[in-house]
Amino acid sequence: MRIPTKKFTDLLEKAGITDARLEDGIKIIYQFFGENWIEDEITKWNKAKLATKSISAIIDGHPIILGITGGATNDTLTIVELSVYLSHFREQSSLKTIVSAMKSKEHFWDMFYQLAMAYRFSIFSKHTEIEPGENMADFYSTFGDVTMIGECSVVHPKTSYSKVRDSFHELATICQERAKKDRLSFLMIPKKIDYLDDIAGIKTLLRKINKTYEDEMIKIEVFENELIKDALNSDSINDLPGDIGFKFATTTASNKEDIETYDLENDKPYGFFAIDLGDIEKEHLVDMADKIDKKIQGKLLQLSKHPKDQPIYLFVELDYDVDNLNKERIAKRTLNNFFKTKKWLSGVWITQRRYTTAGRYQYAGILLSNPYNDEQFIKKYFDHINEFEGKNNFFIPFFLKKVGRNDPCPCKSGGKFKKCCGR
């Protein structure tokens, strides 16, 4: 099957990216979706004035999620982002490798960089001015002993790729120093740095991390939370091996008890305490803290009826329009400042929800700073999530498997593969 190397190379040059691992990922896109897939889809979305879209597929057993994000202005997409997600961090064997690599200082940076490249690639074809946010030290603040580094995928298009890579190398170096004290359990590069005006934002963030965690190492993992939320809400959570019990409480549950308890053993003190705030865009931000506090107090009162339950997590969803970046930043800052006062929290789970034409598409960060939450916790958790995803085909709209030239095209266009995506 022909791969349009020239067109791929042109895209990379526009983005200032020349990484071989990225090239492999884009080749997969062209191989299964056709040479003109990106250009054709941009044209369609531009005409429809759609801000975002994502397409999911399984190719040779690897889930790949393709997404383009942009804003339509005068019939022109001003920002186009192409993202390729591979499944390294979801595979059981890879998870073991990650944990092992974290303890091996000489291989730490190699693993860190490979994960960054495998997890998310971003290409900007055009650039529009985005209102700069606060510096990273202010934007991603600390609450108690938990720090949210946030989502991290791409920086300002004017920032060279080599500078970004060097900055992540600096972060890895910091992590290495922390790991010398054997305090590192798990670390994955976060997904997305919004509002980054220049590379100084990353530097500021790194300095804050270094200063905040002089005596301990942070534990951070980032993934799509809709999968995990559904898993927690399903009966299959009882199949989770090990010694961790989850409590899932939501204000939006229907025909269910407010709190659904999945105790693996009655004497386990761990809990999962969740609150769904609903649509943040319809709320007055100045009243947000009071609203959250009332919900928390209500849930804590319910949990108090179960003396052995210890709420160690807070789950918060922020709904927002993808074009309204400024309100998102304000909402995050408001929540971060509020969470600083909640000393009982051991972890905070914040989700920024986006709606796309392919379905609800979520980003999330889970922050682990509880002594119980070591690599064993993460391994068991991921084992369960992987099992759940495999059984339910969750978050995979369609499958792309090896097909013959005369077989129906897996994109469900109705045509033969050789006359559609297989051309």
Cα angle value 222/226/227 (rounded, 5°): 85
Query: With contact defined as beta carbons under 8 Å apart, do 82 and 38 qualify?
Result: yes
Using only C-alpha atoms, the chain has a radius of gyration, in whole angstroms, of: 22
pLDDT in tens, 100-133: 333 333 333 333 333 333 322 222 222 222 222 2
Look up residue 345 and give its two tokens: 């929290």
pLDDT of residue 342: 52
Looking at residue 418, its pLDDT comes to 75
More confident residue, 22 or 262: 22
> Can you say whether the dihedral through the CA atoms of 196, 197, 200, 201 is positive or negative?
negative
Beta-sheet strand order (sheet of 62-69): 52-59, 62-69, 81-84
As a whole number, mean pLDDT of residues 76-88 equals 27
Which pLDDT band, with edges at 50, 70 and 90, does 351 fall under?
Answer: very low
Q: Which residue has the tokens 């994955």?
A: 188
Alpha-carbon distances of 417 from 38, 64, 197, 313, 409, rounded to whole Å: 18, 19, 44, 47, 4
Predicted confidence at residue 296, as pLDDT, reads 63
Tell me the pTM. 0.25
Note whether 366 and 349 are within 8 A (CB). yes
> How large is the average pLDDT for residues 214-237?
32
* Helix/strand/coil percent split, the chain, to 5: 40, 20, 40
- Residue pLDDT, tens place only, 368-411: 233 333 333 334 444 443 443 343 332 222 223 345 678 776 55
